[in-house]
Structure formats: C-alpha cells, structure tokens
Amino acid sequence: MMPDRAAIARLFRTEVKRTLRQSVSLRLYSNFKIGGRADFFFAARSPQELRSSIRFARSRRLSFYVIGSGTNILFDDEGFRGLIIRNEVQGIKKLKGGRVETFCGTSLSDLVEFAAAEGLRGLEFAAGIPGTVGGAIFGNAGAFGRSVGDVLKEAVLMDGHGRDFLVDNKYFEFGYRHSSLKKRHLTLVKAVFQLKKGDREKIKAEIEKNLEERKTRHPSTKTAYAGSYFKNPIQADGTKVAAGYLLEKAGAKGLKIGDAAVFAGHANFIINLGRARARDVLLLAQELKDRVRKDFGVELDEEVVYLPAIFSMP
Ligand SMILES: Cc1cc2nc3c(=O)[nH]c(=O)nc-3n(C[C@H](O)[C@H](O)[C@H](O)COP(=O)(O)OP(=O)(O)OC[C@H]3O[C@@H](n4cnc5c(N)ncnc54)[C@H](O)[C@@H]3O)c2cc1C
C-alpha cells in the first residue's frame, strides 16, 4: 500500500535531505499561468539532488516529471498525481576548442550571454527564447532558421534509476522542434555546445538585432502563453508553411473559449486572458486544428507540451 503523503514527505527528507513540497499550484511554474496542484514538488539544485529525487520517485512507484522554466508546457487543471521535479541545476563553463559546457537548468539566455562575452558565436539565434537549456534541447528550440540541435555536441542524460550516460548529437535525432527525448522519459543533466571563435562586438550586435526582431513578433513579456502553439506544418516538397498563416486564413483570430483566446497579433499564439483553464486551451486548440484540416487538409501538430494529471511513464 502507498504510504500517505506526509509519510512520503518524511521519507524524502531523510533520503534527499531537502523538503518535499506538497500540494503545489503548478500555475505558478507555467508561463501560461494555468494548472492545478501537484501532489509533490521539488526544485533540484544539484545533479545529486536530481539523481536522489528521481531515485526516490522510482523506488516509491511515484510518477515523476522533470520541467525547466515552464515556458512551453500546459499543465492540467487537475494538476499532477506524483512528483514534479523542477530542474534548477545551473552553471556554465568554458572548455577548450570553442566548447561550452552547461548544466541543463541554466537559462538559455544566460548561455547566449556567456558565449557572447567569451567571443564565441553560434548561439545568437537563441537570444530571447525563454526557458532552460534542457527545455531547449528537448524541443530543439530555434529561431531564424537555426536551432539548438545545430550546435549541441553531446549531453549527459539521466535515466529513471538515476544513472548518468553520455550521448552525442546523433542520439537526439534532431528535427524541426523535435528530439528523440519526446519518445523517452530521460532527464537532461549537462550539455556541451560546439561554438566558433567570433568577434565579440559582431556577436552582440547580432543578438541585439534578433531581440529587436522578436519584439515586433511577440506579445508583451507579461502575456501568459507558451510561445507558438503549433509547429509549422511541413509540405510534401519539404518546405514549411507558417501555421499562423493557415490559422489566420481559417478565421482563427478573434476566437476565444473561456479565457483562452487567439492572440490578435499572431494566430499561432493562444493566450490566457486571466482565468483560462487547460480545458479551455485544449478545446480552442482542437477547434483551430479542425478548421485548418477542413480548409486546407493539413493536420497541425502541437509544439506546446500538454502534461496530463495522470502521466504513465514510457
Ligand atoms: C514568449 C515565448 C517565446 C518563445 N519563443 C520561442 C522560439 O522562438 N523558439 C522556440 O523554439 N521556442 C520558443 N518558445 C517556447 C519555449 O521557450 C521553448 O520551448 C523552451 O526551450 C522551453 O524551455 P523550458 O525550460 O521552459 O521547458 P518547459 O516548458 O519547462 O518544458 C518543456 C518540455 O521540456 C522538457 N524538459 C525541460 N527540461 C528538461 C530536462 N532537463 N530534461 C528532460 N526534459 C526536459 C519538459 O519535460 C517538457 O516536456 C517560446 C515561449 C514563450 C513563452
């Protein structure tokens, strides 16, 4: 029989030596500002804490799920039955030969800044993409035609038993907003990026240009949303068509369910006007998919990750 929650928290204290928070509102950890309560919540600040919390969950048959900054995730209205582990393991180190090593809880922006300050180029496209390095590798985050998979050399992953192993770029099978981690329940601990020597001022100018460009496309930073909701569909000839364009043509702008609404400035952004529930977002997304299928015969795929309250580990 499963021990009660208080007993689990006591055991966690003994084994992990940190407090396990109970009944934590996930909306506070999501840029969408949506989500019910997780039974348990833990912010890991060292690789050892990641390992011991994952081992703890596994040995107690508790579902667990690792998140970064919550900028690309939609939590369930019912929260999460099990343990949410927020990866806050941070740190960046310069290695030889233009390589940079970072823990995956580091913010991508910090990594971009670090590389620029070291006169290393290759990550300028990522300026302004919110979230952690781990989240960025998971979803192969990108902008301006470049993505994280283009510069990732290798990474250390952790399995469900808390064991580390090193993998190279190929392991991730990177594609457009895709990595093999979407099919595997593994945790990114550390990553090494291969960058090139460049001119510090030129790198900084490129970053500024990209940040300016983003300001014209995105809603204000205070808006509660998770970036592009759908991926841009790839056509038979291999070219991408903007999901926002198809959505706009399908009459998406102005659509709203509860407090979930299509952003007036860009039809591929679903925003939370205040009290949206995950259910509202999912219903609105379904309506958008139905319209695009009906009008263009195109099936849109979600970029935003929806985490159901009951998650069965693969
Ligand atoms: C304003 C705004 C602008 C955005 N612009 C862009 C953009 O230009 N390009 C783009 O690609 N995306 C963009 N996004 C989406 C988002 O920023 C990225 O997907 C980001 O990389 C997610 O990182 P995160 O740490 O917030 O991940 P989370 O949202 O916390 O998690 C997303 C997924 O990553 C997984 N994950 C996170 N950390 C780990 C880890 N250590 N190990 C294993 N899995 C992990 C989670 O399990 C989850 O499935 C934008 C979002 C917002 C809100």
pLDDT at res. 314: 62
Predicted pLDDT at 2: 62
Indicate which residues carry an active-site annotation: 177, 228, 303
Provide the CATH number for the domain around residue 35: 3.30.43.10
Please tell me whether residues 61 and 163 are part of one structural domain: no
Segment 276-284 shows an average pLDDT of 98
In angstroms, the CA 22 to CA 18 distance is 13
The answer as to whether 312 is a domain residue is: no
Distance from the CA of 140 to the center of ligand 1, in angstroms? 9
Same domain, 100 and 204: yes
Q: Which atom of ligand 1 is nearest to the CA of 186?
A: 43
What is the number of structural domains in the chain? 3
Q: What is the pTM of this model?
A: 0.98
- CATH number of the domain that residue 250 is part of: 3.90.78.10
Q: Mean pLDDT, the chain, as a whole number?
A: 96
Residue of 30, 51, 71 with the most ligand 1 atoms within 8 Å of its CB, for mutation: 71
Q: How confident is the model at residue 132 (pLDDT cuts 50, 70, 90)?
A: very high
Pocket of ligand 1 (CB under 6 A): 31, 66-73, 87, 104, 129-132, 134-136, 138-139, 141-143, 181, 187-188, 218, 225-227, 305
What is the pLDDT, as a whole number, of residue 251?
97
What is the model's pLDDT at position 218? 87
Tens of pLDDT, residue by residue over 222-248, are 899 999 999 999 988 888 899 999 999
Instruction: Determine whether 42 is exposed, middle or buried from the number of CB atoms within 10 Å of its CB (0-12, 13-18, 19+).
Output: buried
> 72 C-alpha to center of ligand 1: Å?
4
Cα R_g (the chain), whole angstroms: 20
**From the CB of residue 234, how many other CB atoms can be counted at a distance below 10 Å?**
14
pLDDT for the residue numbered 220: 87
List the domain range (segments joined by +) for residue 281. Answer: 224-307
- The pLDDT > 70 percentage for the chain reads 99
Looking at residue 216, its pLDDT comes to 87
What CATH number does residue 112 fall under?
3.30.465.10
Q: Are the beta carbons of 257 and 284 closer than 8 angstroms?
A: yes
